Amino acid sequence: MENLKQVSEYKWEMNRDYKPGMRVPGTIYADMELVRLAERDRALEQVANVAFLPGIVDRSLAMPDIHWGYGFPIGGVAAFGKDGVVSPGGVGFDISCGVRLVKTNLDEADVKPSLGELVAAMAANIPKGLGVRGRIHSPEGVLRKVFTGGVKAVVSMGYGRESDLEYLERGGVCREADPGKVSARAYERGKDQLGTLGSGNHFLEVQVVERIFLPEVARAFGLHEGQVVVMIHSGSRGVGHQICTDHLKVMDAVVRRTGLELPDRQLGCAPLGSREADDYMAAMACACNYAMGNRQALMHWTRHSFERHFKSSERKLGMDLMFDVSHNIARMETHESNGKRTELCVHRKGATASFPPGHPEVPRAYAQTGQPVIIPGDVGTHSYVLVGTPEAMTESFGSTCHGAGRTMSRSKAKKTISGSELRERLKAQGIIVMAGKDSQLAEEAPEAYKDVSRVVDVCQGAGLSSKVAMLRPMGVLKG
């Protein structure tokens, strides 16, 4: 802590002499308690380590949900110029893991009396859990279409509506994708996993809008108090994990060949424009398209579950997509650096884009409000909808937090928290949870995470995003 300078209530600066070899300083967005948690977790050291990478622009950034990760901290943001690098550790293994929010025209009173039956219907309809196969047969030919077409390819297979494409980052497709850069092992791991929830911190949650903070923005988003919504949190499954694994080996070889000195070999990287960097970006884009397509299929099964339960069409139930955001990604974006507009490779690992009104990346439906930002809580706590701000563009390359952020490892949580007791505690709060093993539920207990409300308040206080709505959990489906 003595090596950090607090420059405002929610902003801390790390000088380059924090660790000899840093090319740029670091910035941590946090209050006193959150920065102490980051120090205890050794995540601050990772902020410093990222600052060693060639071509890093301005500073190494950390969001308030920062915690220890592979190479980069989770909650880390860094941008690189044309003489910089791309690093798989700055994206993570679950490439394009993200969140989407589905609206309904139902109120809490419409859902609560039969909530248990609704969650059970979703549990029966939605494949979940480690290694579980989905209901969509996806051999290599189908995967190639999803790898290149993203959500549009999945919609063309009958899973969703064309109108869904209007409410996705970049229209639901990363155009840099090249299926030829994906290994045979990644194809094998992705086979028949499309439309599966997975395990770990992934979930599908029935929620109610408990509080509105910005009424005009909430109206533009189609949200109101008492409204039931559904949040879906999942990623690229085995595809993304394998693509990251494959290219980490390649990057490690690049570092050894070029003699680049790094404080952590998990920061393996390749120069932008090199064959190795281009190959990774093309394969990563395939995983992004798969992840967005996966959430699209999950939304289809969710809509189908509501239809069967309420005996009405999903259109009559108002089950429109509000938005879908990814929080593990690296992509080329235009930002201002040193007074000039320039193209940068922005890495967001456990961080969400937070673009303001009028930004070219914001879908037309939200051009006047700014980009919706969806922040999930942990099991049993609130989630939030935020909106992007102009300040984020100057502060954080248009970035904000992605969730609560862990304070306890999964293994420690399983040792110290009883999953069965947690299930009963949540039931007493009126929250129905359907999960696999109790030990897996314990991994995601509130005690294992930071206070998401505190994290969101820091982001608002620092100007990275603004609170629009607070969502309370009603029913939770986990792998």
The CATH number of the domain where 25 resides is what?
3.90.1860.10
The per-residue pLDDT for 339 is: 86
The per-residue pLDDT for 160 is: 97
DSSP annotation of 338 reads T
Lookup: tokens for 366: 């939200």
The per-residue pLDDT for 350 is: 97
- N- to C-terminal Cα separation, the chain: 39
DSSP annotation of 280 reads H
Q: Give me the helices (H) in 382-451, please.
A: 390-395, 410-416, 419-428, 438-443
- 168-181 burial: b if 16+ Cβ within 10 Å, else e: bbeebbbebbebeb
- Name the residue with tokens 């902003």: 11
In a domain, 208, yes or no: yes
Neighbouring C-beta atoms of residue 21, cutoff 10 Å: 12
In a domain, 114, yes or no: yes
What is the helix (H) or strand (E) element at residue 473, kind and residue range?
A: strand 465-478
CA pair distance 401, 216, nearest whole angstrom: 23
Q: Half-sphere exposure of residue 400, counting CA atoms within 13 Å on the CB side?
A: 36
Lookup: tokens for 39: 């120090």
Catalytic residues: 402
CA pair distance 30, 39, nearest whole angstrom: 11
CA pair distance 275, 111, nearest whole angstrom: 53
CA pair distance 19, 1, nearest whole angstrom: 13
- Please list the pLDDT of the chain residue by residue as tens digits (479 residues): 678 999 999 999 999 999 999 999 999 999 999 999 999 999 999 999 999 999 999 999 999 999 999 999 999 999 999 999 999 999 999 999 999 999 999 999 999 999 999 999 999 999 987 777 888 999 999 999 999 999 999 999 999 999 999 999 999 999 999 999 999 999 999 999 999 998 888 999 999 999 999 999 999 999 999 999 999 999 999 999 999 999 999 999 999 999 999 999 999 999 999 999 999 999 999 999 999 999 999 999 999 999 999 999 999 999 999 999 999 999 999 999 888 999 999 999 999 999 999 999 999 999 999 999 999 998 889 999 999 999 999 999 999 999 999 888 888 888 888 888 888 888 899 999 988 777 778 888 888 889 999 999 999 999 999 999 999 999 999 87
CA pair distance 224, 241, nearest whole angstrom: 37
In a domain, 441, yes or no: no
The per-residue pLDDT for 435 is: 83
CA pair distance 314, 281, nearest whole angstrom: 36
Domain span at 98: 4-407+449-478
CA pair distance 212, 226, nearest whole angstrom: 10
In a domain, 457, yes or no: yes
In a domain, 33, yes or no: yes
Neighbouring C-beta atoms of residue 200, cutoff 10 Å: 17
In a domain, 426, yes or no: no
The per-residue pLDDT for 441 is: 83
In a domain, 416, yes or no: no
Nearest to 57 by CA among 397, 316, 324: 397
In a domain, 230, yes or no: yes
Q: Give me the helices (H) in 311-366, please.
A: none
Taking phi over 0 as left and psi of -120 to 50 as alpha, with beta for the rest, 22 belongs to: beta
Taking phi over 0 as left and psi of -120 to 50 as alpha, with beta for the rest, 271 belongs to: beta
The per-residue pLDDT for 438 is: 76
Asked whether the beta carbons of 403 and 388 are under 8 A apart, the reply is: no
- As for how many domains the chain has, the answer is 1
What is the reported pTM?
0.96
* Partners of 335 in beta bridges: 342
Nearest to 257 by CA among 270, 238, 243: 270
CA distances 189 to 121, 139, 213, 240, 241, Å, are 27, 11, 43, 9, 9
Q: What share of the chain is helix, strand, coil (3-state, %, to 5)?
A: 40, 25, 35
- Name the residue with tokens 């922005």: 346
CA distances 372 to 89, 90, 121, 202, 322, Å, are 26, 23, 29, 20, 8
